[in-house]
Structure 1
Amino acid sequence: MTSPIDTLNAFYDAERRYMAAGGAAAGASFDEMAATLDPAIELHQSPDLPWGGEYRGHEGFRDWSLKMSDAFDQLSVEDARFFVSGDTIVILCRLVTRARRSGQVHDAPMAQVVTVRNGRIAEFRPFYWHVPDYVAASGKAIRAA
Structure 2
Amino acid sequence: MTKAGESLLGTVEVVQAFYNAMKRGDVEGILAVVDSDAVLEEANSLPYAGVYRGHAAWRNLSAEFYATWQDSVNTIDSIANVGPYVVSLIRWRATSRYTGRTIEMPLAEFFWVVEGKIARLLPFYWDTAAVLRVIESE
TM-score range, shorter chain: 0.7 to 0.9
Change (3 A) 1:91 1:58: same
The one of 64, 69, 74 aligned to 1:67: 64
Q: Distance in 2 between matches of 1:76 and 1:87?
A: 27
- The equivalent residue for 2:15 is 8
Q: Distance in 2 between matches of 1:101 and 1:13?
A: 27
What percent of counterpart residues are identical? 25
Q: Deviations over 1:46-97 (max 9, x none)?
A: 0100011100000111111011000112222213312313441122221121
Contact 2:112 2:119 in 1 (8 A): yes
Change (3 A) 1:36 1:138: farther
Q: Distance in 1 between matches of 2:131 and 2:93?
A: 10
Contact 2:12 2:80 in 1 (8 A): no
Q: Secondary structure at the match of 1:15?
A: helix
Deviation at residue 136 of structure 1 after TM alignment: 2.6
- Alignment of 1:80 with 2:77, yes or no, is yes
Contact 1:4 1:87 in 2 (8 A): no
* Corresponding letter in the other structure for 1:5: V
Q: Distance in 1 between matches of 2:54 and 2:135?
A: 25
TM-score (norm 2): 0.84
- The equivalent residue for 2:44 is 47
- Alignment of 1:33 with 2:30, yes or no, is yes
Contact 1:89 1:115 in 2 (8 A): yes
CA RMSD for the aligned pairs?
1.8
Listed as ranges, the gaps of 5+ residues in structure 2 are 1-7
Give the 4+ runs in structure 1 shifted more than 3 A. none
Q: Deviations over 1:21-47 (max 9, x none)?
A: xxxxxxxx6322211211011001101
Q: Secondary structure at the match of 1:33?
A: helix
- Asked which structure has the greater CA Rg, the reply is 2
Listed as ranges, the gaps of 5+ residues in structure 1 are 19-28, 141-145
Query: Is 99-108 or 37-46 further displaced after alignment?
Result: 99-108
